[in-house]
Amino acid sequence: MEDHSVGRLLRELPRETARPGFTQRVLRRLDEPAEARSALPRFAVATRAAVALAVVALVVAGGAFRVEQSREAARTAEARRVLQEIRAEHDRLERELRTLAEPPVVYLGGDERVDLVVGLDKVPAEDGPVPATYRVDTY
C-alpha cells in the first residue's frame, strides 16, 4: 500500500455531521455551572468512581491491616500469658522434684541440743530396713 493510498482512504471516510438539535443542546448548556460542563461527563464520573474505589480499597486495606495488627498484639499477649503460666508450673514442678530428690530420713528422737536422725540413704541396701509390707511373715 502506498502513501497516496492511505491519503485516499482517509479522504474517502464519510464526513460526520452534528446530530439534529446540536445547536439547541449547546445553547441549553450555556447556563449550566462550569463544574457540570465537563468535557467528558461519563469519563469524569468513571474517573471519580475509580478514585473513590481506590480510596475505599486503601481505607479497607488499612483497616484490615490495623485489625490484623491488633489481632497480632492480642495473640502476643496471650502467648506471653501462657508462657508465664508454663514458667510458674515449671518452677513449681522443679521445687517438688527437689523435695522428692532429698533422701528420706527417720527421726529417732533428741533434745534441745541434738536431733537424732537416720538418713536412709546412708544405710546399705542389703542391711537396710524393709517395709513391713514386703515381709511375708508379717501376716
Partner 1 sequence: MSEPIAQSEPGSVSDADLMERVRGGDREAFAGVVDIYKDAVVNYLARLTGDRDRAEDLAQETFLRLWRTAGSYVEQGFLRAFLFRIATNLVRSEERREKRFRLLLPFLGRRDRDEPAAPSGLLLQELHREVAGALALLPLRYRVPLVLHEIEGWAYSDIARELGCREGTVKSRIHRGRQQLRQSLQPYWQGGTAWKTTA
User: Could you give the count of Cα atoms lying within 13 Å of 105 in the half-sphere of its Cβ?
Assistant: 10
Binding test (CB under 8 A) with partner 1, winner from 33, 39, 101, 112? 39
In three-state secondary structure terms, 20 is coil
Per CB under 8 A, does 41 bind partner 1? yes
Interface region with partner 1, contact rule CB under 8 A, candidates 13-21, 69-77, 95-103, 108-116: 13-21
User: What one-letter code names the amino acid at 68?
Assistant: E
CA distance 119 to 132: 19
Does position 23 interact with partner 1 (CB under 8 A)? The reply is yes
Nearest to 41 by CA among 53, 55, 25, 54: 25
> Does residue 36 belong to the site contacting partner 1 (CB under 8 A)?
no
Residues lying near partner 1 in the complex (CB under 8 A):
1, 3, 5-19, 22-23, 25-27, 29-30, 34, 37-41, 43, 46-47, 50-51, 53-54, 57
